[in-house]
Every structure is written in C-alpha cells, then in structure tokens.
Structure 1
Amino acid sequence: MPESMDIRKVLKGLRKRKHVICLYKNNGIDRRGEPFDPPINASMIRDERYKLNIYHKSPTIMEFPEGELFDLFHDPNELKNLYKSSEYTEIRATLTLELLEFFHKYELLLGSKGGEARPSEKEKIINTPK
C-alpha cells in the first residue's frame, strides 16, 4: 500500500470515543421482502470490550426488555449471551445508563416541541395544589 494511503497517520490525532451507539428503527425486510412483523426496534452500545443490544417492545407491553450482552474479549463471535447473567449485572447496568444518557442528550438536541415560544399570560395554566 502506498504511504499516501496509510489512514493511521490521519487517525493518530483523532479523539477516541468511549462508546459506539447504533439505533435500529424497523427499517429492514425479511427473507420474503416484507417488513418485519412484529416490528423490530433495537439499540446497541459497544465499548472496547462489551456489546449490549436492547430490543424495544411495543409501548403497550410493559416488561423488562429483551437483550444481549457479549464480552467481545472472550467471545468475539458473540455466541454466549451474558444479558441475564448475575455476574454481569453491573456491566449491563452501566452500559444501559450510558445508552439512556445518549437518548437524553439526543432529545435535548431536538429541542422542545414548541421551540422557544412561551404561552401568553392568558394561555398559562396555573397548576397549584389545593
């Protein structure tokens, strides 16, 4: 490879990220060419060692989400799911909190529904407990 194509020189000065996050919002099709039914919505967060996938169910189903957790150092082919393992509860919780923090920052970037508009004095609702 010619020296001019060596990407390592370009990457050397770049900041290393703590995590990589991927959001999947049911934009795929099955083997028949049909959209997935039921829809698949998932989030993934990965650091240098662990990868956490969370599968979001329908908003009407209030259950603990399904998921997968892999130790990529010991299981690079992602064959052993550690999601429900009590030994990995803290790792799962830490990655889940990092994912929630990402969602929070993402929502803040979108701004509020009303933008910067504020209700007039006539439109304000007084919410005072009696």
Structure 2
Amino acid sequence: MDRSGFKHFLPITLRWKDNDVYGHVNNVEYYSFFDTVINDFLIRVGGLDIHGGAVIGLCVESQCTFKAPLEFPGVVDAGLRVGRVGNSSVRYDIGLFAEAADEPAATGRFVHVFVDRADRRPVPIPDGIRQALEGISA
C-alpha cells in the first residue's frame, strides 16, 4: 500500500541513536515509531488520558514487514489508518515512509485492547476514541 492508503500522518525526526552499526535505523526503532504515531493520535485526536483516565490501551499483537532501510539524518512520515474496530479492540495499519517517498520503508499491524486501568479487564472503546478511530478507518 502506498502513501495514499493512509489517512493520518505524523512526521518523526530520526535521531543519531536510531542508527545501528550497519548505517541504518535499527529494527527495534520501527516498533517505537508505531507506538508513537498511534498514541499521539489517541491522545491528541481521541482524547485518551494516559495519566489519569479510567481506560487504557494495551498492545496484544504487533508485526512489522521491512521493505527498505531508513537512515539518520531524516524524517519518517508515520502513516496510520484503522483496519478494524471492534467492541474493545482496534487493529491499526501503519506505514513508515522516508521523506517524500510514496512507497513505505516498512508496514505494520498493531492491535490494542482497551481495558479498565484498575482491573485490566476489557471495556468498550470510549466514545471519543471510537469516533476518532472511525475517522481514519480504511
């Protein structure tokens, strides 16, 4: 899927420490980019209160397919869309793009289950978050 398949983007500046000894961004950093674009969206657009809210999202599944290297210096355009919204869970599709690239350097999938902060039992996705998620659904 190319850049046009994603409905939300967050530019993430690469850091010197993101590169490994082979001269490209280390694979573990890609998962950090996934977390960043998702949680930035949930907080800014969905109103998720990560510090005091009664509901939190827990990652229960993640996957990444590497297609091309990313390297410092640069900016990663993290693309996000929602593939599926359930009662208490959501599956995100993510694309990581080098600046101005139409094809992703990596694609991924990430599943959140929304749970009660105290007992960690699944709860329905809060209305504000659900509305935000539906706004970027595929």
TM-score (structure 2 length as normaliser) = 0.25
Question: Whose relative contact order is higher, 1 or 2, with alpha carbons under 8 Å and at least 6 apart?
Answer: 2
Bigger strand fraction:
2
